[in-house]
Amino acid sequence: MVNLVIIAAIVLLLSLREKEVKTSRLWILPAILAYWVLSSVIKTPLTVGNILLYIVFLLIGCGIGAWRVHLEQLRIHPTTGKMMSKGSLASSLLLIVVMVLRQLASQWDVHHAVVSLSSALLFLPLGSIAARRYFLYAKVQRFQGKSV
């Protein structure tokens, strides 16, 4: 539980500070996260119910990601001219809630349904991060006057 508190503090600190948007690197974290999620899901038995649960959680995660990028502030730095982005407290707290739910589900590891739910919860941050990065890229392109 101490690890979760430390990770939550790091997530809050990193997401609330203003940072430069580097559009050429937006795809790296979703690709790494997709590999990690898919490699851990392969270890669980794949049934039709599990696959539907994964798809539902992925779609919910995409919706969360779209909502998170809507809450972000985007501006051009006056002296450097670089595109800057700053997250909101609500989006950071949402990510922390997902991490806590995932941790609780893995501690209840006594039944197959809980294992399936625990694996499905991995798709929430995957969808959230992938959608957030895509919509952030689109927002930057619109902000700069380019088409997506």
Q: Of all residues in the chain, what percent carry a pLDDT higher than 90?
A: 17
Select from 71, 73, 75 the least CA-distant residue to 91: 71
- What is the band of 105 on the pLDDT scale with cuts at 50, 70, 90? low
Terminal CA-CA length for the chain: 42
Closest CA to 74 of 23, 125, 28: 23
Q: Return the higher-pLDDT residue of 36 and 134.
A: 134
Inside any domain, residue 12: yes
Residue 124 domain-assigned (yes or no): yes
pLDDT grade for 47, boundaries at 50, 70 and 90: confident
The residue that leads in pLDDT, 14 or 133, is 133
Read off the pLDDT band of 113 (50, 70, 90).
low
Q: Among the listed ranges 31-40, 62-71, 80-89, 131-140, which one has the minimum average pLDDT value?
A: 80-89
E strand segments, 25-136: 73-76, 83-86
- Whether 148 is covered by a domain: the verdict is no
* C-alpha to C-alpha distance for 102 and 86, rounded to whole angstroms: 26
Does residue 130 lie within any of the structural domains? yes
The number of distinct structural domains making up the chain is 1
> Is 24 a domain residue?
no
Q: Is 103 within the bounds of a domain?
A: yes
Residue-number span of the structural domain to which 70 is assigned: 2-17+29-143
Dihedral angle sign, alpha carbons of residues 11, 122, 64, 98 = negative
Q: What is the pTM of this model?
A: 0.76
Q: Name the more confident of 123 and 3.
A: 123
Q: Does 23 reside within a domain? A: no
pLDDT of residue 60: 93
